[in-house]
């Protein structure tokens, strides 16, 4: 018993120590009376959570203190947010009510906590409506952006302390984080948090790759630091001689961004040269900022030759999320390209802490970027037509995108995501302009609607009163606004055509002496395999279904269960879930007789034994097995968490699985022969296809082969790499297929 008392005393001391660290972190924003308010929130949180512990066995109160610390220190939020962070779980997890909070801390705090409580169940494991809930979560932006910022701090701390959670929970949280929270942090300008969230997700989703890159980075650390010192020396001396005060340091790239580069360029770690960036942070007065940045740029490029194609000027035109900086890539002292970022202290704080830092500098800089963004989000959310998952895709696409700046004929500046087309620009000006757009003039030259705009283009839109939105427009527009408007116009047009079709069908059925009633319309819809009666009327109006087809239906009249298709689907899915999840092990063993449960290997990632996998319950094809690092995995886990089943392989050496290898090398006589000999003769592996492309002495081939498991595959790759002339062999996934909605 005595031990327990000592233990509790030690915990009490630790809680106080953490509380004092929080006060130190919030010192710069504290005003009169703030300290007392934080103390009151802290005491309420300690009291409310006193009997609760986390999975690690630590007192639960450590979590709210840590979330408040992140909000203060890493996002730069003030007292109101610190109070809300300390109390963010109180209403949901304890007897304290919102009324209690309002009485003690006022309306604003109560409103933010209400927002946080409402979205706390957004990603509940059993929820099938994550997308719909995510929409609700974003609606809270309309009230107070701090709700989202505290939610990000909460997620960051959960990701940092996830090692005690079960594996399936780790995968699920990581998927949501990389799919939604990291892009959200990016869009709000919180680059440091975005990078850490991506790295932590990768740590759990692709454990081996993460550890491999981490180990490689540590091995070269001393050598890298020496290079950075040598690089900085002449620049620091020149800046000082010109009277510019600056901090210069090397910042390592995140593990996730290094992995992305390896995948994108299909290169091994050793060939990734920009493992760090040099950052020059100037101490400048607000009126000299721009001039000082260009002066520093001139000094850097006097010391090292710049790559003219790699200059990025976000000082003259900041990004939509407030990011300001000059980026250039220069040739370093050892014949190696080095990225250099030049910015002032104010710009750096905005780059690290995003819009939260804007509030601090409100007097000296316009805060319209955030208002503009929130306005766009609200506009999107108000559109009742959009399906929640489409909305999520569109929103996510807008989160990820970088901006381009386009001018109107009169010189007004309009911001659009990169890859935006002339048609996106038209819809950005006005819905009616977009709907009646027939073409555009870019820099006075006539271009088609799908023309991709470039930064700085001047665009004039040409319209016609006879034009209406077309289905294929959806294939090339990228802004969520354009997509939503086109979809709703097409829906309306389809509805009008369907109304005509309804009358035509009524007449045709009359001539066949078939009564026009709900039951028969339903049977017809099912007979022609259509999703709704509206589709039936539409096809009749368009002539896709004519009298001849109706006569055939009459002859083979089938009695079809009077159930809408999606209802059948849902019931099938639910019963499948019950069947599978009622198993004792709750794990799908691939290769054993799972009471005749049908499974297929997903073609989007071609899993083979040895891969880390999970099962996804579909309606028509039983269970699909995906790799956990499949291109579609994050989306499936984030949107359909309730349909995910844990899965692992059993021994199946007698079975063969299809996978793809990409081989690069120096084109040499007999190279193909050598490769096929290794595959067919040495390894006795069957090939399904071989595609080869040779360009100026460079050989590139893709081979689809059947292997038993990952060990078999790794040995084959190792052996192929030893073939003279081969420079690289990598496994590849098939192109990502559209994600499974309800199939």
Q: Tokens at residue 498, please? A: 């369907």
Write the secondary structure of 259-300 as one string of H (helix), E (strand) and C (coil).
Answer: HHHHHHHCCCHHHCCCCEEEEEEECCCHHHHHHHHHHHHHHH
What is the longest distance spanned by two Cα atoms in the chain?
97
User: Are 85 and 76 contacting, i.e. CB atoms less than 8 angstroms apart?
Assistant: no
Question: At residue 112, what are phi and psi to the nearest 5 degrees?
Answer: -65, -40
Q: DSSP string spanning 357-372?
A: HHHHTTTTS--HHHHH
Q: Tokens at residue 683, please? A: 């390894």
Question: Is 89 an active-site residue?
Answer: no
* Rounded Cα gap, residues 16 and 521, in angstroms: 71
For residue 459, give the H/E element and its range.
Answer: strand 459-463
* Rounded Cα gap, residues 277 and 430, in angstroms: 41
Q: How far is CA 447 from CA 456, 461, 618, in A?
A: 16, 10, 43
Alpha carbon 486 to chain centroid distance? Answer: 24
Work out whether strand 437-442 and strand 459-463 pair parallel, antiparallel, or are unpaired: antiparallel
Question: At residue 357, what are phi and psi to the nearest 5 degrees?
Answer: -70, -25
By the 10 Å C-beta count (0-12 exposed, 13-18 middle, 19+ buried), 697 is classed as exposed
Residue among 625, 700, 633 at smallest CA distance from 662: 700
* Rounded Cα gap, residues 528 and 539, in angstroms: 10
Catalytic residue, chosen from 7, 9, 92, 271, is: 92
Residue among 585, 628, 637 at smallest CA distance from 127: 637
Question: At residue 469, what are phi and psi to the nearest 5 degrees?
Answer: -60, 140
Coil, strand, or helix at residue 31? Answer: coil
Coil, strand, or helix at residue 741? Answer: coil
Q: What Rg do the C-alpha atoms of the chain give, in angstroms? A: 30
Q: DSSP string spanning 646-677?
A: EEEE---TT--EEEEEEEEEE--TTHHHHHHI
Q: How far is CA 226 from CA 220, 250, 333, 336, 497, in A?
A: 10, 11, 12, 14, 71
User: Are 248 and 351 contacting, i.e. CB atoms less than 8 angstroms apart?
Assistant: no
Q: Tokens at residue 629, please? A: 């690092």
User: Are 457 and 406 contacting, i.e. CB atoms less than 8 angstroms apart?
Assistant: yes
Question: Is 93 an active-site residue?
Answer: yes
Catalytic residue, chosen from 11, 34, 93, 104, is: 93
User: Are 417 and 402 contacting, i.e. CB atoms less than 8 angstroms apart?
Assistant: yes
Q: Tokens at residue 188, please? A: 């709000």
Residue among 491, 500, 527, 620 at smallest CA distance from 568: 620
Q: Please identify every residue annotated as catalytic.
A: 92-93
């Amino acid at each position: 018993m005595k031990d327990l008392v000592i233990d509790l005393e030690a915990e009490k001391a630790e809680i106080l120590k953490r509380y004092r660290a929080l006060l130190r972190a919030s010192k710069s924003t504290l005003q009169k009376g703030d300290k007392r308010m934080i103390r009151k929130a802290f005491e309420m949180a300690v009291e409310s959570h006193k009997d609760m512990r986390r999975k690690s066995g630590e007192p639960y109160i450590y979590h709210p203190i840590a979330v408040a610390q992140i909000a203060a220190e890493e996002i730069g939020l003030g007292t109101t947010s610190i109070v809300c962070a300390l109390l963010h779980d109180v209403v949901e997890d304890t007897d304290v009510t919102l009324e209690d909070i309002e009485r003690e801390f006022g309306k604003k705090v109560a409103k933010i906590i209400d927002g946080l409580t409402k979205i706390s169940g957004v990603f509940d494991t059993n929820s099938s409506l994550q997308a719909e809930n995510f929409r609700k979560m974003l609606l809270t932006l309309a009230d107070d952006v701090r709700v989202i910022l505290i939610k990000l701090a909460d997620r960051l701390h959960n990701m940092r302390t996830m090692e005690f959670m079960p594996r399936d929970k780790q995968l699920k949280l990581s998927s949501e984080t990389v799919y939604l929270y990291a892009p959200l942090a990016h869009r709000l300008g919180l680059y440091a948090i975005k990078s850490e969230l991506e790295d932590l997700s990768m740590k759990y989703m692709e454990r081996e790759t993460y550890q491999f890159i981490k180990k490689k980075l540590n091995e070269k650390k001393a050598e890298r630091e020496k290079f950075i010192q040598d690089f900085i020396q002449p620049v620091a001396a020149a800046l000082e001689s010109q009277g510019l005060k600056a901090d210069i340091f090397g910042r390592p790239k995140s593990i996730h961004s290094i992995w992305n580069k390896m995948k994108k360029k299909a290169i091994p770690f050793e060939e990734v040269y920009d493992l760090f960036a040099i950052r020059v942070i100037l101490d400048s007065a607000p009126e000299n900022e721009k001039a000082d940045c260009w002066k520093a740029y001139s000094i850097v490029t006097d010391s090292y030759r710049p790559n003219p194609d790699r200059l990025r000027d976000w000082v003259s035109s900041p990004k939509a999320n407030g990011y300001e900086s000059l980026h250039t890539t220069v040739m370093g002292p050892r014949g190696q390209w080095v990225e250099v970022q030049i910015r002032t202290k104010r710009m750096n704080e905005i780059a690290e802490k995003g819009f939260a830092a804007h509030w601090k500098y409100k007097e000296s800089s316009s805060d319209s970027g955030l208002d503009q963004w929130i306005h766009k989000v609200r506009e999107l959310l108000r559109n009742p037509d959009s399906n929640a998952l489409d909305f999520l895709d569109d929103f996510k696409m807008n989160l990820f995108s970088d901006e381009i700046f386009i001018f109107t004929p009169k010189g007004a500046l309009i911001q659009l995501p990169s890859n935006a087309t002339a048609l996106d620009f038209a819809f950005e000006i006005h819905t009616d302009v977009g709907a009646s757009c027939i073409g555009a003039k870019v820099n006075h030259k006539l271009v088609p609607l799908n023309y991709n705009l470039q930064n700085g283009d001047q665009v004039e839109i040409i319209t016609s009163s006879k034009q209406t939105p077309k289905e294929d427009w959806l294939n090339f527009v990228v802004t969520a606004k354009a997509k939503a408007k086109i979809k709703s116009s097409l829906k309306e047009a389809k509805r009008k055509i369907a109304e005509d079709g309804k009358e035509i069908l009524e007449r045709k059925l009359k001539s066949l002496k078939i009564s026009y009633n709900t039951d028969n319309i339903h049977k017809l819809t099912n007979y022609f395999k259509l999703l709704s009666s509206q589709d039936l009327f539409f096809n009749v109006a368009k002539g896709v279904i004519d009298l001849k087809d109706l006569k055939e239906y009459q002859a083979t009249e089938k009695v079809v269960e009077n159930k809408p298709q999606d209802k059948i689907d849902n019931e099938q899915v639910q019963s499948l879930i019950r069947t599978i999840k009622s198993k004792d092990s709750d794990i799908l063993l691939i290769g054993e007789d799972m009471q005749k449960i049908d499974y297929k290997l997903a073609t989007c990632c071609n899993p083979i034994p040895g891969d880390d996998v999970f099962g996804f319950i579909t309606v028509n094809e039983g269970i699909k097995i995906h790799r956990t690092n499949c291109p579609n995995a994050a989306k499936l886990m984030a949107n359909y968490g309730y349909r995910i089943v844990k899965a692992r392989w059993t021994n199946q050496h007698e079975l063969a699985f299809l996978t793809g290898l990409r081989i690069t090398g120096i084109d040499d006589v007999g190279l193909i022969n050598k490769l096929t000999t290794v595959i067919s003769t040495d390894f006795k592996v069957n090939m399904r296809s071989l595609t080869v492309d040779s360009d100026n002495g460079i050989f590139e081939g893709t081979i689809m082969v059947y292997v038993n498991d990952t060990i078999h595959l790794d040995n084959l790759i190792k052996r192929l790499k030893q073939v003279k002339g081969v420079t690289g062999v990598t496994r590849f996934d098939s192109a990502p297929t559209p994600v499974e909605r309800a199939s």
